[in-house]
A and B are shown apart, each in its own frame.
Chain A
Amino acid sequence: MMKTSFLRKLSYLARGMYAGIPIGLGYFAVSFAFGIKARAAGLSATQAFVLSGSNLTSAGQFAGLAVIQGMGALATLALTQLIINLRYCLMSCALSQKLSPETPFFHRFLMACGVTDEIFGVSVSVKGALSPYYLYGQTMVAWPGWVLGTLTGALAGDILPSSITSALGMALYGMFIAIVIPAVREERKVLFVVIAAAITSLCFTYLSPFSSLSPGLRIVVVTFLVAGAAAILSPMRSEEGK
């Protein structure tokens, strides 16, 4: 009995690590660019490394760098992080519903470290209940990618040709697409929601009063508008969406 459950945890961990490979690669490319910027903003390589290791968030870190560089108030920094990373709150809410209700507190505290856009996307797409170990496996691969990319960028910004780093950036988006498309095929409701989200996101990026929103805030607003509208139009009974 003990043995099976141990093997099951191990299997979730291994599957998570496999799913984490494209995340880690994509992170390396993005955080490489962050490392270069962090040095330019006056951080040491060690500070850039600790910043990436303790935050594990792209948009928030890039925005935080701007505040640090301008020696802005700590309250401004906190507010920036709150707004840009508010989407993690929504993601954690969604993940909390994927966990078995008996999941102990220490798992919840530990899992929170790995809630990123990509890990969330992969974790929430599993069928049935989510094992914390699946998330840990992804984090174990994605986190090193993120901090090593930062360190490499901070220490040796211009070794890799830029054609490779920017092509690696597509890995993250390829992964997002691979998460969304199967659900789009399976459910017409999701297809409509995704089309609406794409159009709304384009409007908020290019139409004038909205385009002044930061990318992080834009994602929060689009999420509330489109998922909110979809929830009003098509509520969900308790047995659906599991």
Chain B
Amino acid sequence: MEGHSIWLYIAVMAGVTYAIRVLPLVLLRKEIKQAHIRAFLYYVPYVTLTAMTIPAAITDAPTVWSGCVGVTVAILLALRGVSLVLVAAIASLSVWLIECFVA
């Protein structure tokens, strides 16, 4: 495989990805007033994060069981107002414990 062509592939990937990220930040400099667009942008993060978590959090885990436990633990802790860092740490720990001692 040619070395330089892999570098070219990498450059194209980086260029396209950066352009997608930077253009809205540079072009949208004023506050959007239109109520539907505002609402759309407000809901985007919650929808995107949910779509990224369900079902991937469960299917990416070592087993469905440990995935379900990890997600449940995270939801319960978050409902109790536990901080982001701790929710993430305890959720992974619970997956690891389930895999070590139950499965």
Contact = CB atoms under 8 A, between A and B. Distances in A.
Interface in B26-81: 26, 28-33, 35-57, 60-62, 66-67, 70-71, 73-75, 77-79, 81
Interface string A89-100: 111111111010
Interface string A108-126: 1101110101001110110
Contact of B30 (A50, A78, A90, A101): A101
A230 interface: yes
Q: Tell me if A's interface is mostly helix, strand, loop or mixed.
A: helix
Nearest to B25: A108
Contact of B16 (A78, A177, A201): A78
A171 interface: yes
Contact of B45 (A125, A167, A171): A125
A218 B48 CA distance: 10
A241 B39 contact: yes
A219 B48 contact: yes
Contact of A178 (B50, B55, B87, B99): B87
B13 A51 contact: yes
Contacts of A47: 6-7, 10
A236 B44 CA distance: 13
A74 B62 contact: no
Interface in A181-238: 181-185, 190, 193-194, 196-198, 200-202, 205, 215, 218-219, 222-223, 226-228, 230-232, 234-238
Contact of A93 (B24, B31, B33): B24
Contacts of B66: 167
Interface of B: 1, 5-14, 16-18, 20-26, 28-33, 35-57, 60-62, 66-67, 70-71, 73-75, 77-79, 81-85, 87-96, 99-100
Given A26-B88, A124-B45, A178-B84, 10 more contacts: A22-B84, A22-B88, A68-B6, A96-B28, A117-B52, A164-B96, A167-B62, A170-B74, A174-B91, A231-B39
